[in-house]
Structure 1
Amino acid sequence: MVVSGIRSDADYLSDRLRSHAVKHWFRYDTSPSLNTMAEMVRDVMLDFLGYNRGEEVRSAQISGGIGSAAPSYNGGGGGDDDENGNDARAGRPLGVSVFLLGGLDSVRHGDGGAEITSIEADGSSRTYVARAMGVGSQYANDKLSHHWRKNMSVDEAKDMMRSIMKDVAREVGWFPSAEDEVDCFGGYEEGQWTMVCEIVTSNGVDVDFSTM
């Protein structure tokens, strides 16, 4: 899971999902699927928007026996209550966007590829093969739509991302543009920034560091 937004909200969401994933593992003796994790994230997001699961037709009762990950859920599943015994309701939406990386088992067995499920603060979700989020993401996604192609090699993908990240950094003002004069005292110098690549392989996840 990759999160962009308010750090405390990201920590809360991560803790909530970790706790609910453990319940799933104890009940089914397997890790939750990508779709199950996405549903957990959506439940928490919608709960923070004030969505009332009680208006559904007992949907929480048929969610596999572990209830909902939503903090206000107490349909027999151990929700969070206030001191008066009422459902604990969130006061504002969570200020985060979430990426869930799925398809890792398919990659390990050589019969498929990874995919990204993007979940916004309003609970909406979409699936992508290449996506950016956070500062400069609109510009980066436009670049990805033009440069990403199927069956790229690892080196080609890394070169593409390095180029896009430099362009984004210039767009948001972190790097000087080609026309700017750069002095050696506080200006950008080659190799000053590091790009971290987590590469999914059949043997797991390899981490690669390269300068920009």
Structure 2
Amino acid sequence: MKTAPSKPPRSQEDGHGRILIVDDHPIFRRGIAMLLEHEEDIRIAAEAEDAAQAMTMVERYSFSLVIADISLKDVNGIELVKSLKALKPALPVLVLSMHDESLYAERALRAGARGYLMKQAPPDQVVAAIRKVLSGELYLSSAANLLMLNTFVSGRGQTGKNSVESLSDRELEIFEHLGRGLGTTRIAHDLHLSVKTVEAHRSHIKTKLGLATAPALVRAAVEWVTSRTLDG
């Protein structure tokens, strides 16, 4: 059933952090709003369930921060970050997602996000991340910071012809799901895509990574996710 369009932002006093949250789960959006309701200087001013709604809201209204998930109904959240940076370069974005930071934090920051945090983080850490990004700083967890430092020092992650880094944001998302043992139908459901679209992405991933068969693709995905998780 199609949900009603998002309401205009609630009015706030000058100086308060006006946050737009972009997530396709109403319960999660409500949870963040409840988390911030006792914070006098920051609160959720508006909500959007997909990237299209978010872009419309940002075009029409002024916000201090956007909190966005990666898995949205229309486009990948990292693509939303890129679009937001193109539209409002000074508007900070904090990615708050279920996806493992060891797989996505670096890519989100390269896209223009000012921070990355996983949804299972403690509430006080979420508030701390919001405040840090609102103050103009970058935010990553200690584990993500260490992982990115290790990646830089080791030189791993350099883009090559058959590198995972050559995958698009959506392809990487599907590659991660494959590596976690999910099948095409489940991936399509979780990412709000058709089965045919997922199959097309799988084919493109195989080509980019130089893999000949579907089992080889799954094996490579499992090995990659496992290695990234262990390194983190």
TM, length-normalised to structure 1: 0.27
Q: Which has the higher strand share?
A: 1
State the structure with more CA Rg: 1
TM, length-normalised to structure 2: 0.25
